[in-house]
Amino acid sequence: MTRMKVTAAQVMTGNVLTVRADWPVNQLVDFLADHAISGAPVVSSGQEPIGVVSLTDVARMGALGEKDKSDVPAFYRHDLARFIARDEMHGLHVTAESQTTVGDIMTPMVFSVTEDASVQEVAEAMLTGRIHRVFVTRDGKLVGIISAMDLLPLVRDL
């Protein structure tokens, strides 16, 4: 039996919500709460992914004052939106006086594949990086995102 190659483009979520490194953290918190998401890719002005930031990074900033960038980003490992209600997300308040930017707290680590990557390659990237999401890029620009949840229907239908 011949299996058809399923590609990243076929399973990715397009129209990814992104943030910029120069955003103040209070703008980030409002953005995440308004969209009920736990994190987002950080992109350059040319839409190239340069990192990732999450609510965990914001909480860590408040608790520690400074983020340990050696850790794999929580955006990849956890789906905080499942554990934090929308109204509680607004509780992760950052004062308007904060001069801290997304670039200060983001993890400058990017796990990506191209649109023509097979789902096996996507899964391998997730396993190797011990992550739950990968970015999909075309010519270095972000065009989609794939989470472990996006791959489960494929496994179910085997």
Which residue segments constitute the domains of the chain, with CATH numbers given? 8-156 (3.10.580.10)
Q: In whole numbers, what is the pLDDT of the chain averaged over residues?
A: 81
Backbone angles phi, psi at 78, to 5 degrees: -130, 150
Predicted confidence (pLDDT) per residue in 107-129, tens digit: 898 899 999 999 999 999 999 98
Angle between helices 119-129 and 148-156 (to 10 degrees): 130
* Nearest one of 115, 120, 119, 117 to 142, comparing CA atoms: 115
Predicted confidence (pLDDT) per residue in 74-89, tens digit: 444 444 455 555 555 5
Predicted confidence (pLDDT) per residue in 127-158, tens digit: 998 888 899 999 999 999 998 889 999 888 87
What percentage of residues in the chain have a pLDDT greater than 90? Answer: 49
Strand-pair category, 19-20 with 49-54: unpaired
